[in-house]
Each structure stands twice: as structure tokens, then as C-alpha cells.
Chain A
Amino acid sequence: MRTCFAEVLARESACLAGVTDGAMLADWRRRVVKELMTPRSPYALALRHSGDVPERAALLDRWRELIAETLERLLQSGAVGNSLCSSAQTPRGDIDAQKAAVLILAALHGGSTLSQIARDPWPLNAALDFALAPFAATEDDGPTRTRNE
């Protein structure tokens, strides 16, 4: 168990550090979805509940920080947040990166549970489209509604 936490953290540190625009954020998200939908992958194991694991709390804390730092960087550079501001959505100047990171992590966690019981990547993709909407890092053609991937 401990090794899967370390592996997820190492990979997330490296991948998120390289994200500098919305397209790279979308790439990151695609990769994480693939990992989470792979049975017994370090990602799938790390988010799996079993017992009281302080290491999981540490992983989730650090992962949330890494996501928040990435969002902060994207917002400050203007790479996301100022473009594509449709009239139906709020202005992006007031996005709270810390709180948005909590929602994204919850979407990864809750979405992968829903996808695992449904045996379908759709719920996880829909959850991430929802959580990442302010950062416009949705899938190009939206989540495909296939029942058996």
C-alpha cells in the first residue's frame, strides 16, 4: 500500500509541474482517468478504501496541494480563466484555486468509485468535466457514453 502512495505522488509531482496551459491540464486529466480505470494500478489502489491509513491522508493532502499549485499557476499566467468566458458562466477572476482543487480531488475519488461500480468510465469523465469546467479542460467531444469500454 505504502509503495502505491509513493508512486502516485512521484508521478503526480512530475506531471502536474509540467502543466502550463489548458491543453496540458486536459492531457493530465486523460492520463489520470486512464490510470484510475486500470484495475490494480497504483492510482486505483491508492484511492481504494480499506481501514485507517494515515498514508492516504498524507497523499491526498499533497495531491490537493499539487493540483492547487497548478491551478494557481494557470490562473496567474492567464493561460486559463480569462478566455472562453461565455455569458452563461461567471467571470473567472474570482476562482479560488484551493477550493477548486478540493472539488477536483473529490471528483477523482467519487467519480472513480461510481465508474468502478458501473464498469464504465463515463461517470468519472462527467465528474471531471464538471469539476474542471472553470478551467475549460474538458474532453474535446465531451465524455463518450459507451457502456462497455
Chain B
Amino acid sequence: MYIQGVGDTTLDDVLAASGVSKSQLYHHFDGKDALVRAVIDLVGERVIERERDALGHVSTIAGLRRWRDALVQNNALRHGAYGCALGSLASEVTDHDALARQALSHLFAEWQELLAGVLRRLQDNGVLAPEASVDQLATGLMAALQGGYMLAQTARDVTPMATSIDMALAHIESLSAD
């Protein structure tokens, strides 16, 4: 679903892709919105688990660069075509479905908190200046990542995503405590 986009996916697409009957689908999901929310929960759980593994113990700029390398490499395998599963859902679902929007908002807050944790450890290690605003930097890094995914997806080329995150990490590094 997240390849095609939520807005362009009909229940018939879901049925065709899954091989279940309409009555079976409605038995489990109360219409398309409920199905979309189930997809958000599933995708969100996977992304947060992946990011917790990748970021949970990072406490150096080099560690952040390894995180960046893994995301860029993974996205490059598909020429950036799929983008970020969670970001794609976020840019599609926002208007009509308040519950889906809130679920996504919580998931992004959770992901961003993992980035903020890394930045606080950088501060604790004396790498990042103590006066740097962790909230603002984590938001800037998340936006650079998500925007990078979207630029890569549109360009069918992972280069803008790599550039965007590299510039963001260079900025964070430039705020190092001397």
C-alpha cells in the first residue's frame, strides 16, 4: 500500500494483492480508514524497532554517520523509489483521518526522541555544545531525513537524500563544543 500511496489505493487493490474476499476483509477491518490505521501501526512498529536498534546506543558523530550510511544504502537499492514507509504515509493521510494523523504524529515523536537521545549523549560526551537546542536539532535532522527521502523518491535517485543528511550532520558537527 505504501508503494502506491494511500490515496490511490482502493479496497479492491487490497483484495487483489492479498487474495482475500471482501467479506473477509470487512470482517477484520471496518472500512478503509481502519485498514490504513492497521498499516500505520504495523509500519510504525517496524520502523521504530529498526531505529531503536540503530540509534539506541549511538553516542558519536561517527555513529550517526553509520546510521546515515545504512539508511542511504538501503534506499539506494531501490533508487529511492519506495521512500520512507512512515513518511510516505504521513504525507498522504493527513487531511481526512484525524486518528491516523495522531498515530503518525506519535510515531514521529518517538523516532525523533531517539535522535534527541543521541544528541543528548553527544552533549554529555562534550562533543556537542551544551547550549545547543537538542529539540531543534533533532527536528532539523528528522526533516532533513524525511525531506531527503521525498526528494530521492521524486528524483528516482538517492543522491539528494544523501546530500541532505550529510549537510544536516555537518551542521550538527559544526556546533561542536571547543
The interface of chain A, by Cβ under 8 A from chain B, is 39, 47-51, 53, 56-57, 60-61, 87-90, 99-100, 102-103, 105-111, 113-114, 116-119, 122-124, 126-127, 129-131, 133-134, 143
Contacts and interface: CB of A to CB of B under 8 A. Distances in A.
Contacts of B110: none
Given A49-B150, A60-B155, A88-B178, A106 B140 contact: no
Nearest to B156: A57
Contacts of A129: 136, 140
Q: Is the interface of B mostly helix, strand, loop or mixed?
A: helix
Nearest to B98: A119
Q: How large is the interface on B (under 10, 10 to 19, 20 to 34, 35 or more residues)?
A: 35 or more
A117 B178 contact: no
A102 B151 contact: yes
Interface in B136-178: 136-137, 139-151, 153-156, 160-161, 163-164, 166-168, 171, 174-178
A95 to B, nearest CB: 10
Interface of B: 4-5, 7-8, 87-88, 90-95, 101, 104-105, 108, 129, 135-137, 139-151, 153-156, 160-161, 163-164, 166-168, 171, 174-178
B147 A107 contact: yes
Contacts of A110: 87, 142-150
B175 A109 contact: no
Contacts of B140: 107, 126-127, 129-131
Q: Say what secondary structure dominates the interface of chain A.
A: helix
A49 B143 contact: no
B144 A107 contact: yes
Contacts of A111: 139, 143, 147
Nearest to A91: B174
A117 B164 contact: no
Given A49-B88, A110-B147, A113-B87, A102 B175 contact: no
